[in-house]
């Protein structure tokens, strides 16, 4: 049992929370932190001093899981040696493994899936009070229930309350508290054959547009100038008004109407008002003008209408940046992945984007070594990467995931060494493509949202970094290096005259003249830009 007294007086439990995985998890961690803080929990950065260690986990690849499991292994030893500690596993791994994890890893005290995070305080309370006797007292998981019906369970409605009760803390947020995530859609209905996300995050559920706009408004009121909208396939966002309301008549989250309805457009909803992704973007842009940068991830290469591109073209504060994973350049592999598009359709989409938004920046994800991938299939992926001006691609080696269709139907037959060599080959080609994209910015003046003062001096070659000590850096240059991003998400570094002036720029948008480039970054000098700098 954790002792929660100091000199006989009660104290709040201290929590160490570590987050793995995607932006969705980062947002979940922020919400969990806010929720628990409001209940008297304290958050600390020192894992060794915490009463409670929470891991917000990712299950997308085996490697992501292994990282957490080794952390848990270390804490198991400490517990065996007598440390009183509560270990909680929350997020996608908890959901994927389910209650069997509590049996397999007895040092884990509680499990909470990403769809049940509003119940985390109850679980913690049970464990702290020592009343967690039954599994159900220590585990909150959706199981497969969320897939059974088209109506929302009560759990999902209360999950919405967690988003609605968001207490954004600028001090705890990145980029000087000026950047924030806003969820528009939970879950995923796509079922790509390799992917655990539909199992761990459940069915696609869209939040009411008013709730989203209100959240953006509230964030802007707290000083946020960059908002990134989150969903697994953001362009599938669709809200049918009047279809889901609570007892008081207020709109509530709604299960996705399905792709067929989406493809029919508003025509599929005779007489009903709908909010599409394009409408939603436009509303946020127009109704919350304080948001200087509106971004969204992740886009799906199908069902991305011209309506969205037109809104992006019209609204200057929507970043012309698309993260739109291709996954493979082989139609045969795309078919086995159940992606629902061909390489030709992907390229048509890219053409459509660049036609309307010539300065758009495109990023993606690729999986190499998917079952049955031949050298020819892989070379088609290489061709795709050479053809599209990707500013970057995250390249992953296929990892068979329990519970997916691919693991059940397709043997993981590409040897690890071959996956690795394909991954390296593709990384090298992507580096060339990235270098070209970045070189295209040299000589331009770009607006940069400053994220941090950094003492990492990037090398001119590979985009890696040589870490210089702070004093050494100071002495070498007499200035500090700042880093930030362009609207197209290109990392940009420049010097500020002093530490104080660098820190004062964090969270602001300034103009930088790009003098040179590397495969993964731009280097430039600050151009005086008082009107933007004085923001806030």
**Burial class for 313, CB neighbours closer than 10 Å (0-12, 13-18, 19+):** middle
The option from ligand F3S, ligand SF4, ligand SAH, none interacting with 367 (CB < 5 to 8 A, set by class) reads ligand SAH
Question: Binder to ligand SAH among 61, 201, 207, 302 (CB under 6 A)?
Answer: 61
Distance, CA of 59 to CA of 20 (rounded, Å): 9
The option from ligand F3S, ligand SF4, ligand SAH, none interacting with 398 (CB < 5 to 8 A, set by class) reads ligand SAH
**Residue of 309, 329, 331 whose CA lies nearest to 320:** 309
**Residue of 315, 298, 405 whose CA lies nearest to 357:** 315
For residue 325 the two structure tokens come to 């994973």
- Angle formed by the axes of helices 277-287 and 306-314, nearest 10°: 10
Distances (CA, A) of 194 to 144, 285, 313, 331: 18, 35, 34, 16
* Cβ 175 to ligand F3S shortest distance, Å: 21
Sheet with 205-206, strands from edge to edge, namely 185-186, 205-206, 254-255
* Cβ 233 to ligand SAH shortest distance, Å: 6
* Cβ 272 to ligand F3S shortest distance, Å: 30
Contact region for ligand SF4 (CB under 6 A) — 186-194, 415-423, 493-501, 526-534? 186-194
The option from ligand SAH, ligand F3S, ligand SF4, none interacting with 401 (CB < 5 to 8 A, set by class) reads ligand SAH
Pick out residues in 230-259 that bind ligand SAH (CB under 6 A): 232-233
Closer residue to ligand SAH in complex, CB, 315/407: 407
What is the 8-class DSSP label of residue 335?
H
For residue 289 the two structure tokens come to 């003008």
Closer residue to ligand SF4 in complex, CB, 32/197: 197
Pick out residues in 325-364 that bind ligand SAH (CB under 6 A): 325, 327
Question: Binder to ligand SF4 among 185, 233, 254, 517 (CB under 6 A)?
Answer: 233
Closer residue to ligand SF4 in complex, CB, 200/276: 200
* Cβ 366 to ligand SAH shortest distance, Å: 7
What is the 8-class DSSP label of residue 69?
H
| By CB under 6 A, residue 195 contacts ligand SAH | yes
Residue 379-408 contact track with ligand SAH, rule CB under 6 A, x = bound: -----------------x-xx-x-------
**Residue of 482, 433, 438 whose CA lies nearest to 457:** 482
CA torsion sign, 380 to 386 to 390 to 392?
Answer: positive
Residues 6+ apart with CB under 8 A from 278: 305, 307, 308, 310, 311
* Cβ 92 to ligand SAH shortest distance, Å: 10
Question: Binder to ligand SF4 among 114, 115, 176, 198 (CB under 6 A)?
Answer: 198
For residue 452 the two structure tokens come to 């941090």
Closer residue to ligand SAH in complex, CB, 257/325: 325
Closer residue to ligand F3S in complex, CB, 22/141: 22
Distance, CA of 279 to CA of 284 (rounded, Å): 9
Q: Phi-psi region for residue 387, left (φ > 0), alpha (ψ -120 to 50) or beta? A: alpha
CA angle, corner 226, sides to 223 and 230, nearest 5? 120
| By CB under 6 A, residue 43 contacts ligand SF4 | no
The option from ligand F3S, ligand SAH, ligand SF4, none interacting with 26 (CB < 5 to 8 A, set by class) reads none
* Cβ 125 to ligand F3S shortest distance, Å: 25
Question: Binder to ligand SAH among 189, 298, 392, 481 (CB under 6 A)?
Answer: 298
Binding residues for ligand F3S, rule: CB under 6 A, are 21-22, 24-25, 58-60, 91-92, 196-197, 200-201
Positions in the binding site for ligand SF4 (CB under 6 A)? 188, 190-192, 195, 197-198, 232-233
């Amino acid at each position: 049992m954790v002792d929660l007294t100091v000199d006989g007086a009660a104290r709040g439990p201290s929590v160490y929370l570590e987050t793995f995985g995607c932006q969705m998890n980062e947002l979940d961690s922020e919400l969990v932190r806010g929720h628990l803080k409001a209940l008297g929990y304290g958050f600390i950065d020192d894992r060794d001093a915490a009463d409670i260690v929470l891991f917000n986990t990712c299950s997308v690849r085996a490697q992501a899981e292994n990282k957490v499991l080794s952390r848990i292994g270390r804490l198991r030893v400490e517990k065996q040696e007598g440390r009183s500690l509560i270990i909680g596993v929350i997020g996608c791994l908890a959901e994927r493994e389910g209650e069997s994890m509590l049996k397999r890893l007895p040092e884990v005290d509680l499990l909470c899936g990403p769809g049940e995070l509003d119940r985390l305080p109850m679980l913690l309370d049970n464990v702290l009070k020592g009343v967690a006797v039954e599994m159900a007292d220590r585990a909150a998981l959706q199981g497969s229930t969320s897939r059974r019906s088209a109506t929302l369970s009560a759990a999902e409605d209360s999950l919405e309350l967690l988003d609605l009760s968001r207490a954004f803390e600028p001090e705890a947020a990145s980029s000087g508290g000026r950047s924030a995530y806003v969820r528009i859609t939970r879950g995923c209905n796509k079922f790509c054959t390799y992917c655990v996300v539909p199992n761990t995050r459940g069915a696609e559920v869209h939040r009411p547009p008013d709730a989203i706009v209100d959240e953006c408004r509230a964030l802007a009121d707290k000083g946020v100038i960059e908002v990134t909208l989150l969903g697994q396939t953001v362009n599938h966002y669709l809200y049918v008004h009047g279809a889901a309301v609570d007892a008081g008549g207020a709109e509530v989250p709604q299960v996705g109407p399905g792709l067929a309805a989406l493809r029919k457009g508003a025509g599929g909803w005779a007489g009903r008002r709908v909010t599409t992704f394009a409408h939603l973007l436009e509303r946020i842009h127009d109704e919350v003008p304080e948001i200087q940068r509106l971004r969204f991830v992740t886009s799906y290469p199908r069902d991305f209408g011209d309506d969205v591109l037109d809104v992006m073209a019209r609204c200057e504060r929507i970043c012309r940046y698309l993260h739109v994973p291709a996954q493979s350049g082989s139609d045969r592999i795309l078919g086995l992945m159940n992606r629902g598009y061909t390489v030709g359709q992907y390229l048509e989409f890219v053409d459509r984007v660049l036609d309307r938004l010539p300065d758009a920046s495109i990023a993606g994800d690729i999986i190499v070594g998917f079952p049955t991938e031949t050298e020819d299939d892989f070379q088609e992926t290489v061709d795709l990467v050479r053809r599209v001006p990707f500013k970057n691609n995250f390249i992953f080696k296929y990892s068979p995931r329990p519970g997916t269709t691919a693991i059940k139907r397709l043997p993981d037959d590409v040897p690890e060494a071959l996956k690795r060599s394909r991954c390296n080959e593709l990384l090298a080609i992507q580096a060339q493509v990235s270098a070209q994209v970045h070189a295209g910015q040299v000589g331009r003046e770009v607006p940069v949202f400053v994220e941090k003062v950094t003492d990492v001096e990037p090398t001119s070659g590979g985009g890696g970094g040589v870490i210089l000590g702070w004093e050494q850096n100071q002495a070498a240059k007499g200035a500090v290096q700042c880093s930030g991003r362009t609207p197209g998400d290109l990392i940009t570094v420049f010097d500020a005259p002093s530490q104080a002036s660098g820190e004062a720029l964090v969270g602001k948008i300034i103009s930088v003249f790009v003098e040179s480039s590397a495969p993964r970054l731009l280097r430039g000098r600050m151009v005086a830009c008082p009107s933007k700098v004085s923001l806030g």
